[in-house]
Amino acid sequence: MTVDGWIRHEVVIVCDQSNLDAMPISRSLRSIGRQRSSWLILLGAGGAATAIALASPSLGLPSSSSSAISDSPKEVIDQVWQIVYRDYLDSTGKYNPEDWKGLRKDLLAKNYSATSESYEAIRGMLASLDDPYTRFLDPKEFKEMQIDTSGELTGVGIQLSLDKDTKELVVVSPIEGTPASKAGVQPKDVIVFINGQSTKGMSTADAVKLIRGKEGSEVTLGLRRKGSVIQVPLIRARIEIQAVDQQLNTTVDGTKIGYIRLKQFNAHAAKGMRSAIKNLENEGAQGYVLDLRSNPGGLLEASVDIARQWLDEGTIVRTKTRDGIQDVRRANGSALTKRPVVVLVNEGSASASEILSGALQDNHRGVLVGQKTFGKGLVQSVRGLSDGSGLTVTIAKYLTPSGTDIHKNGIEPDVKAVMSEKEIKNLNLEDLGSGKDSQYKVAETTLIKALKKVLDGTFYNPVGVNLSYALQSSV
């Protein structure tokens, strides 16, 4: 198992989002009537989105509001079909417009007695594209995706993991300021029951279902701590998920290093990064290690905003649709620091993480340390459908500032650093960014070398960076 597998897949934040209308991102995500749907940009191996526009699914083709399919399971089938027909960027070579038209005719000719049957038909239709990022989300799955991206949740505020050896549910850490933190829940507490129900053999997903609930409702956890079991009643509340962790590390020679771990690009990530940089600047940080390991991605706008906090000049990212329409995002002179930065990446650093990594690397702003990144260079939109379900569909690809298409290729680090299997097995979340973290130690050494280059004036001159590429009209 890799660090990515341990951190990304086993740690669950126990929260729920019960009032979507209360949050701007959630409001953008939900379906907006029968003939209008949300159009969102998706970046991330696991899925994340932000609203960019509103659009109607109508294409001048047979309308989904026709008497034959309106208010029937066929309506959503047709909505999905039309979105793909108009916007889909084929990266697999499996999409043929004429075959797609024939598929629509066949599916709408059938009768569907229940939504489950129409959902199965939609998934089969999308499977023909052989694109893992173009997928249908039933209403429950769509809501879960909104939870991942909003950065604001309703729950108790604990990070939950399944112990690799004992298979017990363990608290990784409580989130500061949440009901769990205020009630004294501690890291490594073992959850033995939830509202009186034993957790023996329970998965994290099953535990989350029991712990989540509406704001103001109560859940009681049985926690084993140092051999004793205590009952902890918790009142669920609105929680802001912290995407950014920070700390000031001091080396043996007295060098002050600002360590920032960015866990995901949610709606609060840019704000958290801005606060972390300012705090560490005030604490006297001489340089930075930015940890993007196992960060699966997230909001496009968050990745651009965060890049601008490190870059004064240069291209950040370029996106290109199937019709050749391009959008270029650039730095705007709003960098918060010019101190050297080393970026930690691994095979779990994906999508928005790769946008940020590529921007810093290609602009010679930061040095990448670690392992080759995931290699997801496709952009998805997320469409809310008329019945509360949703669709993620690949609509564009993105290129790094130097024009590199990293999809399925990833970004190679400037300095390679790989953890041993033994270290991976024994590494805990709290060890990241410490002397127990060998990749961090390599990043620290690399940063100290960069600090020496600052003294002789050879580190990061933004003038003219990628200018020739930025002036190109096509790629």
Burial 44-74 (b: 16+ CB within 10 A, else e): bbebbbbbeeeeebeeeeebbbeeebeebbb
362 is catalytic: yes
Tell me which of 131, 138, 312, 362 is the catalytic residue.
362
Encoded tokens for 383: 């469409």
351 is catalytic: yes
Give me the long-range contacts of 276-282 (CB less than 8 A, separation at least 24): 276/244, 276/246, 277/309, 277/336, 277/337, 278/336, 279/246, 280/246, 280/248, 281/336, 281/337
Tell me which of 74, 320, 376, 397 is the catalytic residue.
376
What letter represents residue 111's amino acid? N
Tell me which of 118, 173, 351, 353 is the catalytic residue.
351
Helix (H), strand (E), coil (C) string for 88-155: CCCCCCCCCHHHHHHHHHHHHHCCCCCHHHHHHHHHHHHHCCCCCCCEEECHHHHHHHHHHHHCEEEE
- Specify whether the CB–CB gap between 432 and 440 falls below 8 A: yes
- Look up residue 215 and give its DSSP letter: T
Sign of CA dihedral 455, 460, 462, 468: positive
Catalytic residue set: 351, 362, 376
